[in-house]
Amino acid sequence: MRVPVPLRGPASLPFRMFGIRPSRMNPNTCTVCELMFTRVMKARNISVDVSVLFADLRGYTALSQTLAPEVVSTLLDSFYDECAAAIWEYDGLLNKTIGDAVMAIFGFPIRQDDHPARAMLAARDIQSRCAARRDGLRGNATSDADAYLGVGIGIDCGITRFGEFGRAHRDVTAVGTVVNTAARAQAAAKAGEILFTQAVHDRGGSAILGSKLEEHALKGFEHPVQLYAM
What pLDDT sits at residue 102?
95
Write out pLDDT tens, residues 61-80.
777 777 788 878 888 888 99
The larger pLDDT score, comparing residue 18 to residue 22, is at 22
**Of the candidate ranges 14-28, 192-206, 214-228, the one whose mean pLDDT is the lowest:** 14-28
The larger pLDDT score, comparing residue 110 to residue 98, is at 98
Judge whether residue 147 has pLDDT over 90: no
What pLDDT sits at residue 139?
55
**Structural domains in the chain plus CATH codes:** 1-41 (no CATH), 45-229 (3.30.70.1230)
What SS3 string covers 63-85?
HHHHCCHHHHHHHHHHHHHHHHH
Judge whether residue 22 has pLDDT over 70: no
* Helix spans in 12-170 (H): 13-17, 31-41, 60-66, 69-89, 115-137
Judge whether residue 1 has pLDDT over 50: no
What pLDDT sits at residue 224?
92
Is residue 230 a contact partner of residue 207, using CB atoms and an 8 Å limit?
A: no
Judge whether residue 15 has pLDDT over 50: no
Is residue 41 a contact partner of residue 162, using CB atoms and an 8 Å limit?
A: yes
Q: Calculate mean pLDDT across residues 79-86.
A: 92
Q: Calculate mean pLDDT across residues 137-158.
A: 72
What pLDDT sits at residue 183?
95
**Average pLDDT in the chain:** 80
